[in-house]
Structure 1
Amino acid sequence: MGRLVPAVTRALDVLELFLHGDGTLSAPEVTRRLQLPRTTVHELLTTLAARSYLVTVPDRPGRYRLGVRTYQLGSRYAEQLDLASEGRQVAQWVAGTCGEAVQVAVLEGTDVIYIAQADSTHAVRMVSAAGRRLPAHCTSVGKMLLASLPDGELDARLDGLELTGLTRDSVTDARELRTALDAARKRGVAVERQESDPDVGCVAAPVRDRSGRVVAALSVSVPMIRWDQERERELAALAVAGAEELSGRLGHDLRPGAPPHSLV
């Protein structure tokens, strides 16, 4: 675990004081409660106010309350909670339809983080878990999410990245990865066969929010003993159906004639 940064810790301590009482505080109150030097408190309050994490209270000189930036962060967090909650429900529906494991993941840097899943009903099955992190280039959800990025952002994320493999079939060549991403972008479905697990294949489709932006991907995973071309087509169609259902729940307009959204 890395070292905690004292200045950041103090700033967060200040913000957390506003969770109690009437939600307003003065500099002397902050100084007393946190037992910090007055100069330090003044600098912290000034900095937080400059970044809109705090604002002065109208008609109450010297008092502060939480600013709009904290609301924006909270709203963003709530959006992610909604995605996870809706993702679990849709994953369970898709898994109930096909009997295979279903995951919903988001992109963080060059990794994917699984935020929702539903397990397979088969005796031989893939076991997944929310919170798991894997290299994006080794997964179908990761390929789908990378393929959704604008070219400039994709270049920035992949520039200098060492493509470490998880299995002997993982894509570790940058040119090969680009080809796979182009295919996923054109098809609207990403596929990986034994690239994150030597016994598993996956197909994934993009999940969009109200604005049409790709915010997640939904995948269906199946042991290779149940994998063939026909099954891949079936699961790809089901992954698309699940992703569209989740997109609709997030406000994406799926009606015929609605303005189309490209992957980028």
Structure 2
Amino acid sequence: MASEVSTSVQRALDILIALGAAGSRGDSLKVGEVARAVGREKSQVSRSLKTLAEAGFVDRDPETLAYRLGWRLFTLAESAGNHRLVNIAAPILRQLVSRIGERAHLSVLQGDHVLTVLSEQGSSMIQVIGWVGRSSPVHSTSAGQALLTGHSDTAVRQLLRDARFEPGGPASPKNIDEMLARLARARRQGYAWSDEEFEAGLVAAAAPVVDSQGRVIAAVNVSAPKFRLGRRRDTVGREVRAAADTISQLLQEAGEGTVA
């Protein structure tokens, strides 16, 4: 019985994540599309969607019969996370985007993954896909490196003890030693730089946001195709670091503690 409940909960979570990803693109999904996205049987997904709809966590369009996240989730989100961090970071990210012309993100650490909680759009036609609400392995992203700069090497080894270091991009670190070497470089220069680690042709820079006690609680990063951003590494790195430092200072002036 406990196993069945666990499976149902996991299925519901997978469905919400899939709908969230679709929503970030302005899309909604029909039952069959949700089933394909989560790799589950259509009948199982249909039952889960019905339960989620009854609870207000998803909404179904009466004409298209497609689903999207419901308002109940948005009301719950108002009491989750650190809104002061997001509110302070938003205008700083917009300023960063205006200076660099590329999409900027704010991310936090969740276990051995990075979760993007805020993203501001750049002006270029070719954009890196929005990642709000989505997560990625900490070892293959500039944001992951920035978030771990406050960890000791021993703590990083413990955090990533079960990591499989599956390749993302062609330059993704292959093991913990390579990861630690990149972390050491990020600490020295004040920002992390990812060159085709997460995805081929993609580069990114990230810097840590710290609270009043000097603990890393978030990371600011900018990512873009290598042909646009690659030659501006030092400039972009300094801009990202300055933005992260500004957010840190404003949080400390506001008396902010750690992220919930």
Q: Tell me the TM-score normalized by structure 1.
A: 0.63
Spell out, residue by residue over 1:60-91, the C-alpha distance to the aligned partner (whole angstroms, 9 max, x if none): xxxxxxxxxxxxxxxxx666121122222221
Shift of 1:140: 0.2
CA contact (8 A) 2:107 2:116 kept: yes
d(CA) in 2 for partners of 1:120 and 1:213? 29
Q: State the partner residue of 1:247.
A: 248
d(CA) in 1 for partners of 2:88 and 2:253? 13
CA contact (8 A) 1:203 1:219 kept: yes
Q: State the partner residue of 1:188.
A: 190
Shift of 1:4: 5.2
Return 5+ residue gaps in structure 1 as ranges.
6-76, 254-264
CA contact (8 A) 1:87 1:104 kept: yes
Shift of 1:136: 0.7
Q: Residue type of the partner of 1:158?
A: L
Shift of 1:2: 7.2
Query: Within the alignment, does 1:149 sit opposite 2:163 as a pair?
Result: no
Correspondence for 2:133 among 115, 131, 134: 131
> Cα gap change, 1:156/1:2 in structure 2, threshold over 3 Å: closer, same or farther?
farther
Q: Residue type of the partner of 1:213?
A: R
Q: State the partner residue of 1:121.
A: 123
CA contact (8 A) 2:170 2:199 kept: no
Shift of 1:144: 1.2
**Number of matched residues?**
182
d(CA) in 2 for partners of 1:122 and 1:136? 27
Spell out, residue by residue over 1:71-130, the C-alpha distance to the aligned partner (whole angstroms, 9 max, x if none): xxxxxx666121122222221111012111101111111100001111110112222231
CA contact (8 A) 1:211 1:252 kept: no
Q: Tell me the TM-score normalized by structure 2.
A: 0.64
> Cα gap change, 1:2/1:90 in structure 2, threshold over 3 Å: closer, same or farther?
farther
State the SS of the aligned residue for 2:115: strand
CA contact (8 A) 1:212 1:252 kept: no
Q: State the partner residue of 1:104.
A: 106
State the SS of the aligned residue for 1:227: helix
CA contact (8 A) 1:204 1:239 kept: yes
State the SS of the aligned residue for 2:123: coil
Return 5+ residue gaps in structure 2 as ranges.
8-78, 255-260
d(CA) in 1 for partners of 2:160 and 2:4? 25
CA contact (8 A) 1:205 1:219 kept: yes
Q: State the partner residue of 1:236.
A: 237
